[in-house]
Amino acid sequence: GVGKTTLAREVFNATEVRDFNPRAWVCISDDFDVMRISMAILESINGCGSDLRNLNEVQNQLREKVAGKKFLLVLDDVWSEDYSKWELLRSPFMVGDPRSKIIVTTRHERVALRMGCSTG
């Protein structure tokens, strides 16, 4: 309703963030399946599909792709408030450059608060 995805898309496509590499965009919706999301992020970074079927393998690949790099990740339309799933999903990204950014759009204030953000 209020343009969260549109704003995130504008940021993602802005020339000011072109030095973020890799960059990935994943739509989440109500199915916060860590394997599916991790695979989608990896495929977005690689620009092609992958035949990996194990979460550990996918997350190891993600770690390799972002290690020491300034990345930008957009997780669009997050519904899940399950903090343990969020922790598991973000674990490979902890090896990235500290200037990296993860943008989360959500229509639920409680999700934003779980992510460590403020609304307002």
Q: Hey, how many other C-beta atoms are within 10 angstroms of the C-beta on 93?
A: 18
- 3-state SS of 14-67? CHHHCCCCCEEEEEEECCCCHHHHHHHHHHHHHCCCCCCCCHHHHHHHHHHHHC
The reported pTM is: 0.86
The pLDDT, as a whole number, for residue 119 is 45
Q: Do the Cβ atoms of 23 and 72 come closer than 8 Å?
A: yes
CA distance 11 to 17: 7
pLDDT by residue, tens only, the chain of 120 residues: 678 899 999 999 999 999 999 999 999 988 889 999 999 999 999 988 888 889 999 999 999 999 999 999 999 988 877 788 888 999 999 999 999 999 888 876 666 666 665 444
The pLDDT, as a whole number, for residue 110 is 63
The pLDDT, as a whole number, for residue 86 is 85
Return the domain boundaries, the chain. Answer: 4-116
